[in-house]
Chains A and B, each alone.
Chain A
Amino acid sequence: MCNTCGCNITPGNRSLVMAEKPKKGVTTVSVLQNLLSQNNHQAEHNRSHFDEHKVLVINLMSSPGSGKTALLEATIKRLRESLKIAVIEGDLETENDTKRIQAQGVPAYQITTGTACHLDAHLVHNALHHLALEGLDLLFIENVGNLVCPASFDLGHHRNVVLLSVTEGDDKPAKYPVMFRAADLMLISKTDLLPFLDDFSSQKAEQNLHNLANDAPVIEFSSKDGKGMDIWITWLQAEIDQYQALLLNQQTQHPKVQQDGELLHVQPGNTKFYPVSHKAVHTS
């Protein structure tokens, strides 16, 4: 308990502590502005730019080494005859991933973030100066491998795809709720390794995702043996069709992102409130 970080404030004393104490010469201004407003503003700008060019943009997120680049290689191989694809790569260092994508014959631009653990809307905007959108159908943004920070930043993209490789464990959605709550699709990757693992259950992983009130589809996928490839391609194609239909109606697609709790806070009439009595963090 201390007086600096707020840990001394409890539900019992909050109203007293937080009450405005009128003081001479001090005015309190209510703001209620999101701390990501600059990023969000840039993200909306990026999104209209993408929409002008009618290109569906997918943000790929996962921990490092769960197979994002391998997924892209396999996807490009399969689709490069029928769709125009490009990739923006985010990494702390090296251009290795960009070289792998370019070897597949599609344009790729590398954002090297140095020490930054995520891409933001400004970095993506800068990358767009180096990548022509004309004629593209599909742009993948491969985010920095990290299950924490990238989830908080809207890049102006349309869909979030989160990869979970089977070696990471089926409890990842429960451990990283901010990330998995943002998923429009969860891809369970490296399923060719399942015979060697006795402790990964795709059903459990899916259950942990649904416990976040996220009913996103789940696809089991292996870029090694091609399992799940057809379902993934079908999902992608359906997303492109849906996006193009929205554009025809002057609308766009937004990924699942945070909404600042709908909020601050309309107390609805006939609802029962269940206070937390069992607030031990859920483990499974």
Chain B
Amino acid sequence: MHELSLCDDLLGQVVAIAAQHKAESVESITVKIGALAGVEPMLLESAFSLIKVGTVAEQAQFIMQTAPVIVRCRKCDSQSEVAANYLLCSACQSNDTTLISGDELILASVALCV
């Protein structure tokens, strides 16, 4: 369970952004997580609720966007939304694909009360 250590990084980024904008508090934090990021979003949220106490983000709402798993085929150039453990092209069944969505682990945006 490494969600708590990720939260440390997350909180550090949020606090830095709040200070940079001289915000009084953080209203919400939006993170984007893909199924192939290796992180359980619910655990990340509960870890964040522990770690935010006593910081400028104490009242912040945690908003999660999940990213679909999408591959692009190098053979036929199609894009398909697929299951996380089956990254083949849905059109031609090739496994020569690139993942273009689904491994995100990103702080997307922060809403600040200024």
Contact = CB atoms under 8 A, between A and B. Distances in A.
B82 to A, nearest CB: 7
Nearest to B31: A35
Interface in A213-265: 213, 215, 258-265
A263 B100 contact: yes
B6 A263 contact: no
Q: Do most interface residues of chain A lie in helix, strand or loop, or is the interface mixed?
A: loop
Contacts of B66: 6
B50 interface: no
Interface string B75-94: 00111111111111011000
B2 A213 contact: no
Interface residues of B, number: 67
A65 B41 CA distance: 29
B9 A36 contact: yes
A261 B99 contact: yes
Query: What bracket does the count of chain A residues touching chain B fall in?
Result: 35 or more
A211 B85 contact: yes
A272 B112 contact: no
Interface string B87-114: 1101100011111111111111111111
Interface string A15-53: 000100000011111111111111100000000000000
Contact of A37 (B13, B70, B91, B101): B13
Given A29-B110, A35-B6, A177 B104 contact: no
A5 to B, nearest CB: 6
B27 interface: yes
A213 B85 contact: no
Contacts of A38: 8-9, 12
Interface of A: 4-6, 9, 14, 18, 25-39, 116-118, 120, 148-149, 151-153, 173-175, 177-179, 181, 208, 210-213, 215, 258-265, 268, 270-276, 279-282
26 contacts: A5-B41, A26-B27, A27-B112, A29-B111, A31-B106, A33-B13, A34-B107, A35-B39, A36-B6, A38-B8, A116-B5, A117-B1, A151-B38, A175-B85, A177-B84, A208-B85, A213-B87, A213-B88, A258-B105, A261-B99, A271-B72, A272-B77, A272-B91, A274-B78, A276-B82, A280-B83
